[in-house]
Structure 1
Amino acid sequence: MTYDRLVCANCASPVSEGRCPVCRASRERLQQDGIFGGLTPAALIALLVALIAVAVLAHEMAVA
């Protein structure tokens, strides 16, 4: 989820506007986390397993 769609529970304004200290802190944290920042370790492992499975299938199709 991107911070431009989040609404702050502290001031009820969009987090992207950064009107209060809570908004500014959340916006800064979301910007630093990057694309994989919100994923849990289990989700990252599942993504890695799926990527490996696709690579193995692609290799099998290329060899056949």
Structure 2
Amino acid sequence: MGSEDLVCASCSGLVIEGRCPTCRASREYLRRNSPNLSPQLFLTILVIIMVLTALAVRHAS
């Protein structure tokens, strides 16, 4: 379930649509507090995992 599926308790609309002030406030809160994983960060994490895996395999041999 993503934030696109959340329904507002005030207006019964989708929060992502921002029909009422409560929706708009919730949407803004979710936007500010959602983790943003940039492509560069993702690639860096992937490379680190690959290096650690290679080191572990080399050490085990």
Partner of 2:15: 15
Deviations along 1:3-43, one digit per CA (max 9) or x if unpaired, are 2110001110000110111100010011111227xxxxxxx
Runs of 4+ aligned structure 1 residues displaced above 4 Å come to none
2-structure distance, mates of 1:28, 1:2: 15
Structure 1 residue 62: Cα displacement = 3.1
1-structure distance, mates of 2:2, 2:35: 9
Provide the TM-score with structure 2 as the length reference: 0.59
Tell me, yes or no, if structure 1 residue 62 matches structure 2 residue 22.
no
Percent of matched pairs sharing the same residue: 43
Question: Is the radius of gyration larger for structure 1 or structure 2?
Answer: 2
Structure 1 unaligned residues grouped into runs of 5+: 37-53
The root-mean-square deviation of aligned C-alpha atoms, in Å, is: 2.4
Within 5 Å, give how 1:1-64 maps onto structure 2: 1-35=1-35, 58=53, 59-63=55-59, 64=61
Structure 2 unaligned residues grouped into runs of 5+: 37-48
How many residues align? The count is: 46
